[in-house]
Structure 1
Amino acid sequence: MPRYLTEKDIADFRAELCRVATERFARFGYEGVTMRQLAEALGCSPKTPYRYFKDKADILATVRAEAFSRFAETLEAAAAKGDGPLDRARLVGDAYLRFADEHPHAYRIMFEIDQPIGEEHPDLLRESKRARTFVTQQAEDMVKAGLIDADPQLFGWSMWAATHGLVMLKQAGMLEHGPDIRTLAGFHGALMFRGALATSAKTGRKR
């Protein structure tokens, strides 16, 4: 008789499949991974993964949604510890770099996989939007507090683009003989902040 699978058995297999898929997608990209390869890595029959996921796209959407969720939780937890917009922005930036350093495969499948994020995968759409919105929230808070005089969307996305670029350089091994990534991030952030510094903040007057 076939073994009866408990809810824990199912959850454990899904979790292990997602772990293996995250690593494979990060290393080989979407096109470089097949369901058969995932089954071989798990030591199961080629048909087994189809009992838990519809297809490869469904697996990718699931692991990307989980990655975005963990990413957003990390940033939100960091911001909750901040004392004012500037401190929150600093803590969020540190948390961003720490997440990318501790979870390089998750980071890559979030931002380096060229697969659309659409309504056919609502969990992925929701969690990616949650993370994306939060990244620019720090700039919006600084504008509201009168600390910077800039378009918060442009400022926030520019900071994000620079931070992502630093992460990619580090993951590619290009910063091994240069400054520390946090030193570079702090330098760039200070330059942007000074460039967008509000007149009231420069003079010390209240707006």
Structure 2
Amino acid sequence: MAKKNLSQSDIDAFKARLCEVAERRFAEGGVESVSMRQLAAELGCSAMTPYRYFRDKDEILAAVRAAAFDRFALALESAGQGVADPRERAHATGRAYLEFAFSQPDAYQLMFDMSQPGQDRYPELARAGERARRTMGAGIQMLAQAGQVYGDPEVLSYVIWAAIHGLVVLRLAGKLPEQPDFDTVHAEMMRLLAVGLRTPPDAAAATPPMPRSLAS
């Protein structure tokens, strides 16, 4: 596979295949199952070929994560496109979030893998991650502008993201029971979040303290 004989489309296709294999191997065995030599062997090329396009496996995984964040953001953007009502848009993007996570679990788990180097080392990964963050926050921003929620939209978007992500990870890890099922827990979580979002800070501060037996 001489580099001088490859067109740009050939190079892009090879890099895409390399990333696909890296994502699958990560899902099967974690970071330790991804090495430049293993990737090359599976693709049927020389051990040095991947180094023509990536410095090391961390750069490959960063490229895979960036692509996943872009697909994730695009799914949410597409779901909310053309939906004018802020609440309906929030619901649509919320459904798209779950559909992405459960239809592409390997990509979703790699996106948030804590063993990977910080995204500040990889500009494309940083860009894609920021795109996803902005997309997640767009619905809350619209609700805040419409006066339907209280609080700092950026803070609220992180709170909601943390809640949804935590529940998704529990399901992907098989840590949720059959009853109550995921949909029941998710609906109750969103109900509680909605109540909090619609409660002015002053009213929340005036709420009677939680009983000691529940707080402990």
Please give the per-residue CA displacement for 1:64-91, whole angstroms capped at 9, x wherever unaligned: 1111111111111111142311111101
Q: Equivalent residue for 2:110? A: 109
Please give the per-residue CA displacement for 1:114-168, whole angstroms capped at 9, x wherever unaligned: 2233443211111101101221222222121111123323322121111111211
CA contact (8 A) 2:58 2:117 kept: no
User: Aligned equivalents of 1:84 and 1:65: distance in 2?
Assistant: 30
Identical counterparts, % of pairs:
45
Q: Equivalent residue for 1:45? A: 46
Give the deviation of 1:187 after TM superposition: 2.2
Give the deviation of 1:14 after TM superposition: 1.1
Question: Aligned in 2, Cα 1:116/1:8: closer, same or farther, shift over 3 Å?
Answer: same
User: Aligned equivalents of 2:120 and 2:158: distance in 1?
Assistant: 23
Runs of 4+ in 1 over 4 A off after TM superposition: none
User: Aligned equivalents of 2:71 and 2:46: distance in 1?
Assistant: 30
CA contact (8 A) 2:73 2:131 kept: yes
Q: Secondary structure at the match of 2:31?
A: coil
Q: Equivalent residue for 1:128? A: 129
Q: Equivalent residue for 2:203? A: none
Q: Equivalent residue for 1:14? A: 15
User: Aligned equivalents of 1:59 and 1:133: distance in 2?
Assistant: 24
Aligned residues: 199
Q: TM-score, normalised by structure 1?
A: 0.86
5+ residue gaps, structure 2, are 201-216
5+ residue gaps, structure 1, are 200-207
CA contact (8 A) 1:146 1:198 kept: no
User: Aligned equivalents of 2:40 and 2:182: distance in 1?
Assistant: 37
CA contact (8 A) 1:71 1:99 kept: yes
Q: Equivalent residue for 1:167? A: 168
User: Aligned equivalents of 2:36 and 2:14: distance in 1?
Assistant: 15
